[in-house]
Amino acid sequence: MAQEKKISVAVIGAGGVGRCFLQQCSQILPQYPNISLVFISRSNRSLRVPTWNHELSLETWEKDLVASGDPALSPQELLDWFGTTENEIILVDNTSSQDIAGFYPNFLKDKITVVTPNKKAFSSDLDLWKRIVDNAYPNNPDGGFLYHEASVGAGLPIISTLKDLLETGDEVQKIEGVFSGTMSFLFNNFAPLEGEGGKWSDEVSKAKDAGYTEPDPRDDLNGVDVARKLVILARMVGLQIECTSAFPVQSLIPTELESCTSGDEFMEKLPAFDDEMEKVKAKAEEKGKVVRFVGSIDVGRKAVEVGLKEFDKGHAIAGLKGSDNIISFYTKRYGSNPLIVQGAGAGGEVTAMGVSADMIKAIKDCHGWKKVR
């Protein structure tokens, strides 16, 4: 049996999802005696082991990071440091940084395994996507492994399900669903199956207060977050989608409010446009339907769309609850009854779970699979 490899885990991004991830690591990493946490960084500082024989404390990392006087490392500086050890490296990037994403090909080429929820790496420039995929294993037999489950479904197994379908030879014909926990919450309350629902601006305000939206809700209502997820899945099924502006993306921001200087100003002025959304809801109700904000990929037509769509009340998408996401895979094998993945698709804990699960897969793929029993 081959000698068990030592694996070092480096984490970029320690707030929000990153903090939840590190909390989960305190339960996961002790099960693997050959795994050690060696690096943690935020935007302005970093914490790393003095030698590769040491490891950072999962109990005191937050306090230790605050006390650290070391600045954050650039991607190149981090890669240079990784080059000073023979350990396998798993890099966990919990940020949404385009700069770090742009360096993934370099990490992968140097056999660094990358685990990330960062959508920008896989939905921005098509050339970057190709360089990432080309430098990762198995396209590059000497490259690092790549995992990004949480870039689309947070903790939901969207990417792994699609990979399984493709790798087992199924023909994916269409992907459709609600890809945003924010949009799900909004429309499940604004246009419920039963009852009238609240005013649009009130529901946006409730979602914001509950933490479902970004500080400026326009960052959710513009549809770009959903579009990024659709780009990732479309590229996985072979469509050469250049960027999120290459297909129709419906924004729910009134044109008159696009120039608001702040989220607060936007929220203050939004009630004046409630009637527009009421008309959208009423139009669907006249047909016995409900309106939902969905994304779809028609593989045969090579068409990607993001926006409002009406559904019969018996449709699975119409019956969502809370902030759940639902993604339906229509394939040759599954026929008219799609394979459906449904559940919480947003939130720090579930997103971190998706990242943690990917890290465990990476540990096993790096031959560090032996757990403490």
Q: If the chain, 373 residues long, is cut into consecutive pieces of 10 residues, what is the mean pLDDT of each piece?
A: 78 94 95 93 95 95 95 96 96 95 97 96 95 96 95 93 97 97 94 92 92 88 96 97 94 96 95 96 96 97 97 94 94 95 87 95 76 46
φ, ψ of residue 187 in degrees (nearest 5): -80, -25
Query: Residue 264 is which amino acid?
Result: D
User: What does the alpha-carbon distance between residue 323 and residue 156 come to, in Å, rounded to a whole number?
Assistant: 13
User: What does the alpha-carbon distance between residue 270 and residue 204 come to, in Å, rounded to a whole number?
Assistant: 9
In DSSP terms, 342 is beta-bridged to 326
Respond yes or no: is residue 229 known to be catalytic. Answer: yes
DSSP string of 337-355, one letter each residue = S-EEEEEE--SHHHHHHHH
C-alpha angle 133/135/141, rounded to 5°? 110
Q: What tokens appear for 150 in the block?
A: 């949480």
Q: What tokens appear for 296 in the block?
A: 């779809």
CA 135 to chain centre: 21
Which of 11, 19, 21 shows the shortest CA–CA distance to 49?
Answer: 11
Residue 51 C-beta-side C-alpha neighbours within 13 Å: 1
Q: Tokens 């896989």 appear where?
A: 122
User: What does the alpha-carbon distance between residue 201 and residue 203 come to, in Å, rounded to a whole number?
Assistant: 5
Diameter of the chain by CA atoms? 70
Bond from prior residue into 271 cis (ω within 30 degrees of 0): no
C-alpha angle 256/259/265, rounded to 5°? 90
Q: What is the pTM of this model?
A: 0.93
Crossing angle between the packed helical segments 181-190 and 200-209, to the nearest 10 degrees: 140
36 membership: H or E segment, kind and range: strand 35-41
Q: Are 366 and 5 in contact (CB under 8 A)?
A: yes
User: What does the alpha-carbon distance between residue 221 and residue 335 come to, in Å, rounded to a whole number?
Assistant: 33
**Alpha helix locations (H) across the chain?**
17-28, 61-67, 75-82, 98-101, 104-109, 120-123, 126-135, 150-153, 158-167, 181-190, 200-209, 218-221, 224-236, 263-269, 274-286, 348-365
Considering 119, 229, 281, 309, which one is annotated as catalytic?
Answer: 229
Q: Is 160 exposed, middle or buried (0-12, 13-18, 19+ CB in 10 A)?
A: middle
The backbone region for 306, taken as left when phi is positive above 0, alpha when psi lies in -120 to 50, beta otherwise, is beta
